Chain A
Amino acid sequence: MRRVKSDERAQIRLTLNGRAVLGLAEPRMLLSDFLREVLGATGTHVGCEHGVCGCCTVLIDGIACRSCLVFAVQAEGRSVATVESLAATDGTLNRLQRAFREHHALQCGFCTPGILMSFTDYLGRNQAPSEAQLRDVLSGHLCRCTGYDGIMRAVIDAAGPKSEDP
C-alpha cells in the first residue's frame, strides 16, 4: 500500500471526465476540495461537508459518491466523473439536463450538479424506475429553492421511454 506522511503532499493521478489528470494533495485533503481547488473542476459544489446535502456528489468508477466524504488520495487511480462530463463537447445538453431545463427543476443551480450526478448513476443502472424509487434517490439531496416538484418531473421524464430527440 502506498504510504504518505500526514504533512506531505502526494501526487494523485486519476481520470477526470475521461482525461488523465494529476495534482498534489495532502492526505487529509477532501476529494471535493481537490476537484475544485487543485483540478479546477468547480462544477462540483460544497454545501455541508458532512455528507447530508448531496451537493458534492460525483461518480467514482461510475458510482455516485459524496466527494466531501472521500479523501483525494482515495481517488488515486480511479475514474471520477463530474457534472462537467454530461453535456457534449459542443455544448449540447444531454437528456437529463434538458429535462431539468424543460421542467424548471433548478433555480439557483447550486445543488443541481450533485442531483444530476446521482441520477446519472441511478438511471444508468435502472431502466424503468418507479416514481417512489426516484423520489427516494432524490431524498438524498437537499434543494432549498424548488420544493423538488420540478426535479421530480424532470427525472420522471428523463427516466421514461425516450421520445424522439429534438
Chain B
Amino acid sequence: MSAIGTSGADEAHPLLGKPVRRIEDRALLMGRGRYVDDLPVDRRTLHAHIVRSPHAHAIIARIDAAPALACAGIHAVITGEDVRRLTDPFLVAVKERIPQWALAVGRVRYVGEPVALVLADNRYLAEDAAELIAVEYEPLPAVVDARAALATGAPLIHEEAGTNELSVRRFIYGDPDGAFAAADARVSTDIAYPRNSFTPIECFVVVAEYDIADDSYDAIANFQGPFSIHPVMARALRVPGTRLRLRTPADSGGSFGTKLAVFPHIVLMCIASRIAGRPVKWVEDRLEHLQAASTGPARIATAEAAVTREGRILALRFDAIEDYGAFLRAPMPGPLYRMHGASTGAYDVAHLAVTNRVVLTNTMPAGLIRGFGGPQHYLALERLVQRIAAELNLDPLDVIRRNLVRDFPYRAAAGALYDSGDYARAVETAIGDGRLASLRQRQKEARAAGRPFGIGFAAVVEPGLSNMGYLSTLLTAEARERAGPKNGAVSLATVAIDPLGAVAVSADVPVEGQGHATVLAQIVADELGLSVEDVRVNLEIDTAKDAWSIASGTYSSRFAPGTAVAAHLAARRMRDRLAAIAAKQLNVLRDDIEFAGGKVRSRGNPDNALSFARVAGTAHWSPVLLPDDVPPSLRETASWSPPELEPPSPDDRINTSLTYGFVFDFCGVEIDPATFTARVDRYVTMHDAGRLINPMLADGQVRGAFVQGLAAALFEEFVYDENGAFLSGTFADYLVPTASEVPPLEILHIHSPSPLTPLGAKGLAEGNCMSVPACIANAIADALGIADVNLPATPKRLHALMAGPERPA
C-alpha cells in the first residue's frame, strides 16, 4: 500500500512516518471517553429544549409561554426578545444588514429555526412544557431555490438588506476573453451541488454558566473552531474575550466541520444561564441536527473552457451561485473563496474569469463541512474536463495529462503557490500495474452484456492550512485597504517537562477523532529521544489559559502543515535547552549531544550519558547550575506563522493555503438497469500529501473522506419541498452509507514533501470529499452518455434519466 520513500522513518527521526497505534483508543474502547454529555455538571444545572419554527418563513406575531411556565419543574422560557435585550447580533462578513441572533427575533426564516428555549429540571419536562407554548405565526411566501431567490419579486429573506444576493464579485486573471475568442472550441457544463453534511454521530452539546459576580461566562461545548468565532461570540455577549471562557472536552464524537455551528447555541445557553441564574445544559437531538444544525452550501455553477482541438485548456470561466440558507453565519461565505487561489485546479491555465454570487434562501444556514468549497468547485471543473473529452472525442485521461501542472513551485492564475508535486507521475503510477487496464476490461464485459458501465476520473489539488486572509477576497481591494489587511495563520503548541522528566503537550486543535494526540506524541517523542508512551497529550482547550489564535481549531486540514509544525518547533527548542544543560554536565559541546532511548548523551562517546529525567530535573531542582543562556523554565510554546500566506494582492491574487497536495482518482460505476442503482465497482485513489507522519492515520482520513464523498455522490441530501418544508428529518430519510454500500477502495501514495514546512507534511483529510463526487459523476456520465449529472445520483434521479417519462399502459 503506502510506499515508504520520503515518508519513511529514518535514523534521525525514528518515529516520523511510522504507523504508530493510537494512544486515544484504550479509553474509547473501554467506554471511558469523556464527551461533553458524559461530564459531571453542577447540581443546579437546568436542561434546555429549543422550540423551533415549523414554518419556512413567517412573522412571529405572539408567543404565549404562560401555560408552560405554570408547569412544575419549569424555570424559564426565553424568547427572541430576551436575546435581543441581552445580546448583539452576530458579526457577518458582508455589509448588508442581515442581523442574526441566537433565537429568532420577530420573524422565522427556515424550518427548525430556534424560536424559544425552555429551561426545566430535566429534558423530558422541558419537552412536555414546550408543547404548551403557543406561538402565533403569520406565514409568508418562502423561497428555497437559489435561482428563484435571485428573481425579481422573490420574497426577501432579510427585508433590511433589500436583496437576496448579498455579494457579487467578478475576477479576471490574464486575458480570458481574448483566449475564448481565439480558441478552437468552447465547452461548458452546468452543475448543481446539493445541500448535505456529514452528520457526526454525536450531536451538539453545550453546558454554560453565567457568573454574576464578575459578569463573565464559562461554557464547555464540542466546538471545533475556528476560534475566530470566539470574538464573534464575545461581541454578541457584549463582553471582552477574557469574560467568555470557552472549553472543549477530551473527546468529541466527530465534527467534519459541522461543530463550528454549535456557536450560536453557546451564546444562547450563556444568556439562558444569565436569565435563569443557574447553569444550563443542552444536548441537540438528531431531528434538530438534521433540520437546523448546518449544511454545506448548495452551489449552482456554470464552468466553461476555451480549448484547442487537442484538448489543451487555454482559459476557464466559472460562474457560481452559492446558497447559504437564511443567514450568513461566520465564517461564511468561506466555501466560495477557500479554493479561490487554486481555481484552476491541477491544470496549468493562465487565463481565468470567476464570478461569485452569495445568495440567501429560506433553508437552514450553511456552515463548515469537510471539503469546504472543494467538492462544489471540483464538481464543476472535473465535469468540465470530462465534457471537453466527450465533445472533442478525446480520452478524458489524455485531456487531464495534457493540462497538468508540471513545474513546481507553481503560481496559479488566481494566486495559489503550489509548493511541490509531481502530478504526472502520480497519474501514471495510479493507472499503472494494470489498474486502469483491468477496469477497462470490466467495462468492456459489462457493456457487452448490456449493462451501463462508466469510468470516471478526477484530478484535485488539495489545500491545507488556510490563509486567514482569503475571505477578505470577498471585498474589493479598496474595501480591504480600508479594513486593514488580513492574512496568515498562526499555529500554537506547548511542550512542558515536569520535575521527574515527564513530558506534556497541549496544542490548538480541539479533539474530533483524527488521532492528533498520537501524532503530537510521535513528533515530540521523536525530537526528544523518547517513546510515544512517554509523552502525555492533552487537547482539552481552555481559552482562559491555553495559547490560541483566531486560526486555532480543527478544520481546513491545518493540523499537519500547522499545529504539527508548531509542536515540532516547541520540541526542538526544548531539545536545544536540554542539550545545553546536558553539554555542561557531560563536559562536551552542545553540538555533540544527541537524544535517544531516554538518554541524553555524547554522540562521539555514547557512554557519556545522562538520563533524560536527570537533565530535565536540573531545570527544576538546580536552576542555579543552568548555563547562563538557558532560562529556568521547561515550558515552551512555539508559534508557526508561515510567511507565504500573504494578504490578497491589489489585483485579487490570493495564496489561499500553505500546502497543496494532489489527489488523482478513477473509478468504475455500473448502473443496474432494473433498480437504477449506481454501484461503484472499484475505486482507486492516489495521494501526494508530502511526508506522512503516521501513514495509518493518513489512510484512515482518506477512507473516511472517501465514504463521505460517496455519500455526497449517491445518497445524502437535505431535501426541501417548494414551500420550504423539510423532508429529511430522520436517518431513514437522510441516507448515510452503511458498510454494505461501501465499495473496495485502493489507496496509493507518492511523496513530494512540502518545502514550506519543516516536517514536509501537507493536509490530506479533505481531498476525497473533493474528488469523489466529481469522479463518480464522471463515471455516471460515461456510463449513460449524458452531459448533466445531478447529485446525489439516487435511483429516482437515474430512473428519470434512463426510463424517460412514464407512459400509460
Give residues in A with beta carbon < 8 Å to B. 26, 28-29, 36, 41-50, 52-53, 55, 82-84, 86-87, 91, 93, 97, 100-102, 104, 106-113, 116, 135-136, 138-152
Contact = CB atoms under 8 A, between A and B. Distances in A.
Most chain A CB within 10 A, of B37, B696, B739, is at B739
Contacts of A152: 739
A145 B704 CA distance: 5
A91 B26 CA distance: 9
B449 interface: no
B124 interface: yes
A9 B696 CA distance: 49
Interface string B654-665: 000000000000
Contacts of B696: 104
A31 to B, nearest CB: 14
A132 to B, nearest CB: 9
Given A110-B35, A135-B740, A147 B703 contact: yes
Contact of A148 (B22, B29, B739): B739
B403 to A, nearest CB: 30
B256 A86 contact: no
Nearest to A117: B31
Contacts of A139: 738-740
Contacts of B251: 108-110
Interface stretch (B50-58, B177-185, B194-202, B463-471): B194-202
Contact of A142 (B24, B514, B703, B736): B736
Contacts of B199: 144
Given A47-B286, A49-B286, A150-B703, A108 B22 contact: no
Given A108-B252, A144-B198, A144-B704, 17 more contacts: A36-B38, A42-B35, A43-B30, A43-B33, A50-B730, A100-B29, A101-B21, A101-B25, A107-B700, A108-B202, A109-B25, A109-B513, A141-B738, A141-B739, A142-B201, A142-B736, A146-B703
B124 A26 contact: yes
Given A28-B124, A48-B731, A142-B731, A148 B201 contact: no
A55 B201 CA distance: 8
Contacts of A113: 31
A117 to B, nearest CB: 10
B309 interface: no
A49 B697 CA distance: 30
Interface in B727-774: 730-732, 736, 738-740, 742, 745
B34 to A, nearest CB: 9
A76 to B, nearest CB: 19
Contacts of B33: 43, 109-110
A93 B705 CA distance: 29
Given A55-B201, A101-B21, A141-B738, A107 B30 contact: no
Contacts of B707: 147-148
B253 interface: yes
Contacts of A146: 700, 703-704
A27 B587 CA distance: 75
B108 to A, nearest CB: 25
13 contacts: A26-B124, A29-B124, A42-B31, A83-B31, A86-B31, A91-B26, A104-B21, A108-B252, A109-B513, A110-B202, A135-B739, A146-B703, A147-B704
A46 B202 CA distance: 7
A142 B737 CA distance: 8
B138 interface: no
